[in-house]
Each structure stands twice: as structure tokens, then as C-alpha cells.
């Protein structure tokens, strides 16, 4: 059995293309037309035309036709050689890619798994810490702190809220929603890849579409997550504080409107509002 290279070389006749075939066909047709023209002149009474001229031209036409056929065959062989060469290069490209293609995908998949697992573990650890710290504050009778100002020094500038927020000085730490951020990561990745995926979960198939450009931009490069524990800064010194009928502290930098006023019991001093 011949090798691919031997098959290519067997059909390699150089640069013969469709233009060469058309040129040869045109030359053959012109030679045949000359025979017809000579015969017509004889029929029209031209006695200068000889048998030898017609015979010679007819042979030239036949030879031109044979050359046209030969050129067509060469062009076909050239096409076969070019096709086989292109396919041979394609096979080589496929085999080169396949050499470590699967290993590369497996590596990326494992890295993605490790990164996701590390993120989820870090979020769980952080949220557990917040719960533990809140319990410790409750154990030391640190009161709930619903005011936007820093908790007073008598409680070491610590505070907490019913929603689970932990306050330490000017830092206000909230529970991180792993579901929200995990969903953001998947959809942002799909946006970058320009595709959608189907997740097979517990016997159900869920199609996850890419996030829109606006949704990805809203993440601002995960800046919001990066600032989750950043100091909030001290509250505006001109804020006014009001005790509501529900027992919460309302902070305003203006006069209460009619709706707000109906729910206010009285105005509080900064210290009464829980400030330093």
C-alpha cells in the first residue's frame, strides 16, 4: 500500500489549474474553427485552398484537442494531489492538538473545581466567624446597634444587628451570599465565553444563559465583594436621629417627611442613638 506522500508525488504534476484547462480548450476550439473556415472557403469556390492545408489544419486541431484532454487530466491529478496534501496537513493538525488536548481540559477543569471549592469554603468559614463573633458579643451583653454611627467606647466600639451584621469600629460586616456570587461567576464566565450551558442537577436540566454586558459591568470586577469588609467611614456629623415606634433608630440629614414623622416617637441625641 502506498504512503500518503507517495500518492501525493504520483499526482504532483506541477502548477496546472483550471485556467490552463480553459486555455487548452480554447486553443483546440480555435484550431477546429480554422478547419471549418478552410472547408467553407472551398465550398464558396476558393480554389487556392489545397487538400494539404485542410489535412494539416485538421491534424493540428486533433492534436490541440488531445493536448486539451491531457491538460484536463493533469489538472485533475493536481487537484487530487492538492486535496490529499490539505487533508494530510489537517490530520497532522488534529493529531498535534489531540496529543495533550484532553490533559489540558482536565487541568483547567480541576483548577476551576479547586478555585470554586476554595471560594465556597472561604465564604462558609467567614459566615461562621460572623455568627461566632455575634454570639460572643451577646455573651458579653453588647447591645444591638441599628445606628449608622460607630458604637460607643463602653462596648469597645462593637455592635451587631438582628440581621446578623457585625460592627467593629467603622467596619460593618455582613454575611456573604455564596449562591449569589457563585451564580455571578458562572454567568460572567459564560458571558466571556459567549455561550450557554446546561447543568444536570438532581435529575433536572437547567439552562444557564450568559450574563448581559450590563450585568457583567455591574460586578465592576468584583469590586463590591472586595470592599465587603472595608471601613465604612464615620457617619455624617450633621445627622439627626429619631426613635421610631418600632424601636429602631432612623438617621436623617433633613427634616422628616410626613410619612416618616408619623412613625417617630422622639428625637435622640447622638449618644442615645448609640454613638460614641
As a whole number of angstroms, the distance between CA 116 and CA 113 comes to 5
In contact, 274 and 152? CB cutoff 8 Å:
yes
Residue 3 is predicted with a pLDDT of 61
Characterise 61 by phi-psi region: left (phi > 0), alpha (psi -120 to 50), beta (else): alpha
Report the run of H or E that residue 77 belongs to, with start and end: helix 51-98
Residues 107-159: tens digit of each pLDDT: 999 999 999 999 999 999 999 999 999 999 999 999 988 777 788 888 999 99
pTM higher than 0.75: no
CA 156, CA 133: separation in Å to the nearest integer? Answer: 14
Q: Let me know if 171 is exposed, middle or buried by CB neighbors in 10 A (0-12, 13-18, 19+).
A: middle
**Domain extent listing, the chain:** 4-98, 101-233
pLDDT in tens, 67-106: 777 777 777 877 888 888 889 899 999 998 888 888 999 9
| CA end-to-end distance (rounded Å), the chain | 93
Tell me: the pLDDT tens digits for 157-178?
999 988 889 999 889 999 999 9
Amino acid at each position: 500500500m502506498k504512503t500518503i506522500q507517495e500518492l501525493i508525488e504520483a499526482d504532483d504534476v506541477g502548477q496546472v489549474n483550471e485556467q490552463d484547462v480553459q486555455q487548452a480548450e480554447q486553443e483546440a476550439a480555435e484550431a477546429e474553427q480554422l478547419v471549418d473556415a478552410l472547408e467553407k472557403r472551398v465550398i464558396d469556390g476558393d480554389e487556392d485552398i489545397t487538400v494539404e492545408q485542410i489535412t494539416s489544419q485538421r491534424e493540428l486541431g486533433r492534436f490541440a484537442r488531445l493536448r486539451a484532454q491531457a491538460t484536463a487530466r493533469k489538472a485533475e491529478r493536481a487537484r487530487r494531489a492538492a486535496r490529499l496534501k490539505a487533508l494530510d496537513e489537517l490530520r497532522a493538525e488534529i493529531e498535534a492538538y489531540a496529543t495533550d488536548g484532553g490533559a489540558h481540559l482536565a487541568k483547567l477543569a480541576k483548577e476551576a473545581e479547586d478555585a470554586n471549592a476554595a471560594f465556597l469554603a472561604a465564604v462558609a468559614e467567614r459566615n461562621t466567624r460572623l455568627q461566632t463573633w455575634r454570639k460572643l458579643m451577646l455573651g458579653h451583653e453588647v447591645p444591638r446597634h441599628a445606628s449608622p454611627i460607630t458604637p460607643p467606647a463602653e462596648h469597645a466600639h462593637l455592635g451587631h444587628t438582628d440581621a446578623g451584621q457585625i460592627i467593629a469600629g467603622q467596619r460593618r460586616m455582613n454575611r456573604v451570599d455564596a449562591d449569589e456570587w457563585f451564580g455571578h461567576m458562572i454567568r460572567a464566565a459564560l458571558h466571556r465565553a459567549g455561550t450557554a450551558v446546561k447543568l444536570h442537577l438532581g435529575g433536572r436540566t437547567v439552562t444557564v444563559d450568559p450574563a448581559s454586558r450590563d450585568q457583567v459591568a455591574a460586578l465592576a470586577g468584583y469590586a463590591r465583594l472586595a470592599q465587603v469588609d472595608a471601613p465604612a467611614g464615620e457617619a455624617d456629623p450633621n445627622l439627626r436621629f429619631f426613635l421610631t415606634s418600632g424601636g429602631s433608630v432612623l438617621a436623617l440629614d433633613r427634616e422628616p417627611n410626613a410619612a416618616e414623622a408619623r412613625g417617630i416617637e422622639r428625637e435622640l441625641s447622638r449618644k442615645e442613638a448609640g454613638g460614641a
